Amino acid sequence: MHTHLKEDQYYEDLYDKITVEFARRNIVYFDKFYAEFEAKLPSGEEIDRPGNAFVINVFYMETVGNELLKRYNERDQKIAEWRERDAAKDAHVADTRLTEEPRCRHCGAQGLRITDKDLMNRSQAASLSDNEEVLFTLRCPGCDKYTACWGDGELWLPKPTLCVSCGSEMTQKTTKTKAAIIFQYSCAACGNAYNDKIDLKDKNAKTDPEYANDRDHFCLRNDEFRNRLASMRRDFLGMAQLGKEMQEKRDNRHIYDAIKEMKKPKIAELSGILTPALAKAGFIEVTLDKPEIGKDVIVGFSCLDNQSGRSDHDSEKQLKQAVNRALENTNWRLMSDGIHYRLGYMSGRIKAYEDEEALKNLVARTAKKTKS
């Protein structure tokens, strides 16, 4: 019975064969570019000059190098996936049972014996491999002929071969040798006959003198060459990221200018900023708590409401406004948990925005509030 799961070497050879085929197919474009680029160089200028070498390396990585590195890094994972897929197919075939006993399609007898099981697509469309089902092949002990059916008992009927001369259905006889499977077709209506053959000889038997070297080279078995490609890819990705960052800064120059102009007071300077601003709004005895140093720097503060007759709600609202105004042009902001009030004692917390991304978001939010 056919099994899908193969030895490890089969999958390793298959993966490397695909890699070499890709490289051979695409290196043609690189070689053509290299030759044309070299031909256009001014007389006496070397192709390995830094500027020229850079262009050559970029084109090599785009046409071949990046994919070779990708395939090298994914090799073990892909081979494991292939093995897992084929092992699952074998398990599916082994576990599937007939839910209904079929009759011989030739003589109608029962008691057929299973001789083979394999996966096929019921629609007979090879491209629809995701819908593969188990096809059973059974031999009739009565007429010694074979019947094929699906797990639910539905018969599988081979598509008839029609005579190209008269359109009648042709009979088929199959002969198998070590070298080939020969199909002999004959038409009883008009006498037309021909043979077809499937060659069983190893197609890879033909020598490929360059394959071993190409496999070593393109499958990156040479550490020096592989590391060189990896280094070039890192450099190019770094340059691409740098270019992206430079363009982003050009596009958002107004934000970066605002960050440069923004005041970034130290913790010791906060008292000098908050005390006079809050005093104008009627809040006195401003004190700062010990800072909380973690992912963010947070500083708690407290003060007293010095205006009699002001409601709790108005005190909270006006203190919030005073703090926001005082910190408006700095990288500090009142935290979302707001202001707490009890019997004229008021407290809150402010947070510093330090890294570039946080400052960009702060500037953007501030600009949005200003516009609204």
Each residue's pLDDT tens digit, 315-335: 999 999 999 999 989 999 999
Length of the chain: 372
Average the pLDDT over 42-69 and give the result: 90
Each residue's pLDDT tens digit, 179-219: 777 888 899 889 899 988 877 666 555 688 999 999 999 99
Looking at residue 10, its pLDDT comes to 95
- Enter the pTM of the model: 0.62
Looking at residue 247, its pLDDT comes to 85
| Percent of the chain predicted with pLDDT > 90 | 57
Looking at residue 139, its pLDDT comes to 94
Q: In which band, very low, low, confident or very high, does the pLDDT at 125 lie, cut at 50, 70 and 90?
A: very low
Rounded Cα distance, 12 and 219, in Å:
11
User: Which candidate, 10, 25, 4, 3, places its Cα nearest to that of 214?
Assistant: 25
The 10 Å Cβ neighbour count of residue 359 is 18
> Could you tell me which residue, 124 or 134, shows the higher pLDDT?
134
70-74, 179-183, 199-203, 264-268: least confident range: 199-203
> Could you tell me which residue, 283 or 153, shows the higher pLDDT?
283
Residue 298 has pLDDT above 70, yes or no: yes
Rounded Cα distance, 20 and 16, in Å:
6
